[in-house]
Amino acid sequence: MLDKIHDYIEQSFTEVKETRKVKELKDELFENLKEKYSDQIQNGKSKQEAYNSVISGIGDLSELIESVKEPYFMSSELIEERKKRALRVSIAIALFIISPFLTAVLIVNLGIQPTLASLPMFILIAVGTGLLVYNGMTKQNYSPSDDTIVEEFKEWRVKTKSTNLAYKSFMSAYWMIIVGIFLIVNICFDAWSFSWIIFIIGAAGIHIVEGVLQLKDAEDDDKYE
């Protein structure tokens, strides 16, 4: 039956040129439907009943298909909003990267006390974090128009893409901050013999973030079951 589900998806996209974007969409949709099918089987339905239930619950695929056709029209308002969001993320990352090195410059070149020199670092990190939080809070969430699988899939896809982008932005700055803290600690306190512990703490922080994201994904999966 999984082959039939795969064939159904392929037939739905027969009029669309096969591109990387189209293939990714079909693969994501198939994985989503495969999970729905497995859930139906676990609930005691026969293979045919599970297949019929999944297919009947898909809904209208036309909007999804149109979204990957080339060229894909995007409103000027949406383009402008994406530019603003990308700019805010870029500024936040730049602040994260600059913050520890600014502190090092203040200590080494200007001779400012470490306590005072660290204040700009925390201020820049706070501003960068504020920009990312604002970016997340002002982003419009996708609201399903009905209970079909297509609408659930659209919502899941938007949330997954947003989470991946946020994680990449976080990771691009995280280790720069850790390295900066490592250098500052050693410059200020000459703690080369044990300051490597900072990297262990940094690695633990990454695992905590990944654990929180996995927990959130599990909660979202439970929501749609």
pLDDT tens for 68-114 read: 665 545 567 767 887 888 888 888 888 888 888 888 888 888 888 87
Q: What one-character-per-residue DSSP string does 82-123 give?
A: HHHHHHHHHHHHHHHHHHHHHHHHHHHTT---HHHHHHHHHH
144, 155 contact by CB (below 8 A): yes
d(CA 132, CA 120): 18
Euclidean distance between CA atoms 94 and 89, whole angstroms? 9
pLDDT tens digits, residue range 168-192?
667 767 777 787 788 777 777 778 8
In this structure, what are the phi and psi dihedrals at residue 165, rounded to the nearest 5 degrees? Answer: -65, -40
Tokens of 59: 């809904």
What is the residue whose two structure tokens read 């044990």? 194
